[in-house]
Amino acid sequence: MRIAVGLVATSISCLLLLPAQQPTADQLAPFFATPQTVVDKMLQLGGLKAGEKMFDLGSGDGRIVIMAAQKYKADATGVELNDSLYRQSMDRIKTLGLASAARVIHGDLLKQDYSSADLITVYLLPVGNGLVTPILEKQLKAGARIVAHDFEFTAWKPVQSLSIDDDGEGRMHHLYLYRR
């Protein structure tokens, strides 16, 4: 397990050293699955309520979107650029019968409209958080919440932070809550 965590940390470090050019989707958010316990804590920290509109930016396999719709009864939308992850998410949403409450947009997270969001969840690298910051500042309504996993939004001050020891991985996860 330590080897896997080390490989992820090395991959992230390498991505941070890439030349300053328009980042690719993998540079914004390489797929690294968030443990289910952390997913639940993210949605709890964000105060997600039934009927609220939430977006998961770089939604990967759809686990945050699915839990938001299934457990929290939210109107959940993910945004995922990777074809395989998009199909995997949509297949799981369909299989679980959640199509009325959960969906994934197959597209670029930097080109979406988040103005209806009550909650945004992100597990992006610092470069991704930096690129999405002006979009969220422009689009989000007053009172909208943002929960970031592991990487802070440097332009904002979190109103709350939380560290979670995930016994399944043997590492700490850090969550940051922001309000607009």
Q: What is the CATH number of the domain that holds 128?
A: 3.40.50.150
Considering Cα of 7, then 11, then 16, then 18, what sign does the dihedral take? positive
Distance CA 104, CA 90 (A): 7
For the cut 70, the answer to whether the pLDDT of residue 9 exceeds it is no
Summarised one tens digit per residue, pLDDT across range 12-43 is 444 444 444 444 445 576 787 898 999 999 99
pTM equals 0.84
Distance CA 154, CA 54 (A): 22
Q: Which of 50, 23, 47 is nearest to 109 (CA)?
A: 23
Looking at the 3D structure of the chain, how many domains does it have? 1
Tokens of 63: 């686990």
Domain that holds residue 120: 2-179
Summarised one tens digit per residue, pLDDT across range 85-144 is 999 999 999 999 999 999 999 999 999 999 999 999 999 999 999 999 999 999 999 999
- Specify the amino acid at residue 12: I
